[in-house]
């Protein structure tokens, strides 16, 4: 089961993030995450499902972050 908009998840850093938005582009599922704490953090990730378990790979590459941000901006 994929992460849906509005869900709260805990990442490997033991911090909670709210799923602000999701989208699928070219077969990849992306999530736009906003921290549930201050200072506010924004993260983008790619979600996959392996053996029924949802995995989020946080995108750290600046060029890929920009590409995913553009996808979310153009999705509205």
How would you label 30-68 residue by residue, b for 16+ Cβ within 10 Å and e otherwise? bbbbeeeeeeeeebbbbbeeeeeeeebeebeeeeeeeeb
**pLDDT value, residue 75:** 84
Distance CA 6, CA 3 (A): 9
Confidence bin at 1 (pLDDT 50/70/90): confident
* Average pLDDT over every residue of 22-43: 96
Render pLDDT for 47-71 as a digit per residue (tens, 0 to 9).
999 998 999 999 999 999 999 999 9
């Amino acid at each position: 089961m994929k992460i849906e908009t509005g869900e709260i998840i805990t990442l490997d850093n033991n911090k909670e993030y709210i799923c602000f938005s999701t989208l699928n582009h070219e077969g990849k599922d992306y999530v736009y995450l906003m921290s549930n704490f201050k200072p506010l953090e924004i993260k983008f990730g790619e979600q996959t499902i392996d053996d029924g378990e949802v995995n989020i790979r946080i995108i750290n590459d600046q060029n890929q972050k920009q590409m995913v941000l553009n996808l979310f901006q153009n999705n509205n």
